[in-house]
């Protein structure tokens, strides 16, 4: 569904993404694991078309994100680390607005919005102004806009950032539910988040892919993801 080949992103003399190549197959929850500053968010911003690459290619369901951006973006629902919410709108107004932006057919918008409201369990706050919502509810509204239009791929950047333990648990359960109908990619620097919800993990260090494997295979071989992560990213600390 997603194929990234030799992706590079430079900021002057700094290389944020360094010759990154990976493939995302349908029907799984993928984790992009790395320390803060490893290049996870930059990679996701390029994949979703929010940021240009210095070189390399990204294909989304067969569409080139740089040459066929409109078609490629239709395949993706994206939740950035800070949800793109409009504080002066009610939750319902915001989701109707998002449905229009995403090109949901006019005669289907009502049902589409009602469905995501039900799925994300925000029925009781749909009439409230977004500015008055808690962090947990704001995150749920962000999830709702991401799945509007039923895109086959859902991309989540640090989805548990700023959530308390109860909200984090709810978020993880929701991601598991999403994984039943969508291919999900989430980035995180939190090991427990990756192990709790992901089927497959990619470890990124200094913009490079340094390890990949299924969680099932890791368990079968008795390898510790924590030990692998520490070993493979220790070089970052040495260079700091």
pLDDT digits (tens, 9 = 90+) for 147-172: 999 899 999 998 887 788 888 888 88
> Among 153, 151, 157, which residue's Cα sits nearest to residue 171?
157
DSSP string, 154-202: EEEESTTTT--HHHHHHHHHHHHHHTTTSEEEEEES-HHHHHHH-SEEE
Beta bridge partners, 203, equal 33, 211
Residue 31: predicted pLDDT: 96
Give the integer Cα–Cα distance in Å for 50 and 73.
10
Residue 190: predicted pLDDT: 86
For residue 49, give the DSSP letter.
T
Residue 161: predicted pLDDT: 77
Give the integer Cα–Cα distance in Å for 235 and 18.
15
Q: Does domain 1-75+155-240 have CATH number 3.40.50.300?
A: yes
- Residue 176 predicted with pLDDT over 80: yes
Give the integer Cα–Cα distance in Å for 8 and 142.
28
Structure-token pair, residue 78 = 């994206």
pLDDT band at 240 (very low <50, low <70, confident <90, very high): very low
- Residue 238 predicted with pLDDT over 60: no
In the chain, what are the domain boundaries? 1-75+155-240, 84-150
Could you tell me the sign of the dihedral formed by the alpha carbons of 24, 27, 33, 36, in that order? positive
Residue 233: predicted pLDDT: 85
Q: Considering the chain, what is the average pLDDT of its residues?
A: 92
Higher pLDDT, 150 or 113: 113
pLDDT digits (tens, 9 = 90+) for 55-97: 999 999 999 999 999 999 999 999 998 888 999 999 999 999 9
pLDDT band at 236 (very low <50, low <70, confident <90, very high): low
Residue 84: predicted pLDDT: 87
Q: How far is CA 117 from CA 25, 97, 142, in A?
A: 28, 14, 11
Q: Say if residues 77 and 155 touch (Cβ distance below 8 Å).
A: yes
Rounded to two decimals, what is the model's pTM?
0.89
Residue 74: predicted pLDDT: 92
- Residue 36 predicted with pLDDT over 80: yes
Hey, how many other C-beta atoms are within 10 angstroms of the C-beta on 32?
28
How many Cα atoms are found within 13 Å in the side-chain-facing hemisphere of 185? 27
φ, ψ for residue 25 (rounded to 5)?
A: -95, 155
Helices (DSSP H) in 48-108: which residue ranges?
A: 69-73, 91-101
pLDDT band at 136 (very low <50, low <70, confident <90, very high): confident
For residue 90, give the DSSP letter.
B
Residue 171: predicted pLDDT: 85
């Amino acid at each position: 569904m997603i194929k990234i080949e030799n992706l590079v992103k430079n900021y002057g003399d700094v290389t944020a993404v360094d010759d990154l190549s990976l493939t995302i197959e349908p029907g799984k929850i993928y984790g992009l694991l790395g320390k803060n500053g490893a290049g996870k968010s930059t990679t996701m911003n390029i994949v979703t078309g929010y940021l240009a690459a210095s070189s390399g290619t990204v294909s989304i369901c067969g569409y080139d994100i740089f040459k066929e951006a409109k078609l490629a973006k239709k395949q993706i629902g994206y939740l950035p680390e800070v949800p793109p919410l409009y504080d002066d709108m009610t939750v319902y107004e915001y989701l109707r607005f998002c449905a229009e932006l995403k090109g949901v057919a006019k005669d289907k918008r009502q049902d589409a919005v009602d469905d995501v409201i039900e799925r994300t369990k925000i029925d009781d706050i749909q009439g409230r102004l977004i500015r008055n919502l808690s962090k947990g509810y704001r995150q749920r509204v962000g999830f709702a806009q991401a799945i509007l239009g039923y895109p086959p791929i859902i991309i989540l950047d640090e989805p548990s950032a700023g959530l308390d333990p109860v909200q984090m648990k709810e978020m993880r359960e929701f991601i598991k539910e999403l994984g039943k109908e969508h291919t999900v990619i989430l980035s995180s620097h939190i090991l427990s988040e990756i192990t709790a919800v992901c089927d497959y993990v990619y470890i990124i260090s200094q913009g490079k892919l340094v390890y990949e494997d299924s969680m099932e295979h890791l368990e079968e071989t008795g390898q510790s993801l924590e030990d692998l992560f520490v070993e493979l990213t220790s070089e970052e600390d040495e260079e700091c």
